[in-house]
Amino acid sequence: MPTPARSVRWLVPVVLLIAWLGIGGGLGPYAGKLGEVATNDQAAFLPQNAESTQVIDAQKAFQQNETLPVILVWTSAEKDAPVNDEQREAATGALASLAGSDGIVGTPSPALPSKDGLALQGIVQLSPDLGDELPTVLEEVDKAGASVSGTTVQLAGPAASQADLSDAFAGIDGLLLGVALITVLVILLLVYRSVLLPFVIILGAVFALGLSCAIVYVLADHDIVRVDGQVQGILSILVIG
């Protein structure tokens, strides 16, 4: 029959393990919630005292409404052929049809021809806080632009650049985390020459990452610190490493 001292000796580690797993499991989702408080505007990547940051802040005084513009550029489907008046009217109509749509701010500009007559340009202002809805809105804008017969449309400007940048780095957080975990695991296996101990250490590092993400989330949610895509990417490397 086990003595009380031996029972306590087993009970304490079990309770600590259960508490550890419970707390770690509860903090895990915060790693995915960091995107909710992250900001990826241009000023977020610069020091507050940088001249570029000061210019961006000064520009806000001249803007009544903060928007995210997307530029549509039409060219003829035939190589080096100019766009005609009919295509220009169709492009202007396509732009006008976007007014009032979800994510669209104000009235889009008319289609304006280039000096050489080989292209048309129009500007649509989007809401700056679309977040994950930005690709969907851009898809609708692209669909409207593609309705102009005999032309090829391309999207450019800050909105298109932001969407392309987000798409290029999509999933990179998980990739960085996976690479960091594998690298650390290999090093631990070589150092400790044990199968179980490295996984225990890795599990502790993952829980530490969840705790750090929760702390950063709370601080960013209360505007104490600023979180951007770069911070999200490097956080896992710092904690796991």
* Ordered structural domains, the chain, with CATH: 30-63+171-241 (no CATH), 65-168 (3.30.70.260)
- Confidence band, pLDDT 50/70/90 cuts, at residue 156: very high
Confidence band of 109 (pLDDT split at 50, 70, 90): very high
Judge if pTM exceeds 0.85. Answer: no
Contacts with 131 (C-beta within 8 Å, 6 or more apart), sequence order: none
Closest of 163, 158, 159, 91 to residue 122, by C-alpha? 91
Mean pLDDT value across residues 130-149:
89
| Residue 139 pLDDT | 93
Tokens at 159, concatenated: 């909105």
Highest mean pLDDT (candidates 111-125, 154-168, 220-234): 111-125
- Contact (Cβ atoms closer than 8 angstroms) between residue 125 and residue 71: no
pLDDT per residue as tens digits for the range 27-64: 767 777 777 777 666 566 667 777 877 777 777 777 65
The per-residue pLDDT for 164 is 83
Tokens of 90: 């169709």
Which amino acid is located at 51 in the chain? Answer: E
Amino acid at 161: S
Residues in the chain: 241
Degrees to nearest 5, angle at CA 222 with 217 and 223:
95
Asked whether 219 and 225 are in contact (CB, 8 A), the reply is yes
Q: Are 98 and 108 in contact (CB under 8 A)?
A: yes
Contacts (Cβ under 8 Å, ≥6 apart) of 116 = 82
Write the single-letter amino acid at 177.
L
pLDDT band at 154 (very low <50, low <70, confident <90, very high): very high
pLDDT of residue 106: 86
> For position 8, what pLDDT does the model report?
64
- The pLDDT assigned to 143 comes to 94
CA 107/CA 145 separation, integer angstroms: 15
> Which are the contacts of 118, defined by CB distance < 8 A and separation ≥ 6?
75, 76, 80, 81, 82, 83
Q: How confident is the model at residue 5 (pLDDT cuts 50, 70, 90)?
A: low
Q: Which residues pair with 120 in a beta bridge?
A: 74, 113
Please state the rounded mean pLDDT for residues 154-165.
87
Average pLDDT over residues 210-232: 81
The answer on pLDDT for 230 being more than 80 is no
Least confident range of 14-23, 197-206, 211-220:
14-23
Query: What is the pLDDT at residue 63?
Result: 62
Let me know the angle formed at the C-alpha of 109 by 139 and 60, rounded to the nearest 5 degrees. 90
Residue 237 Rama label (left phi>0; alpha psi -120 to 50; beta): alpha
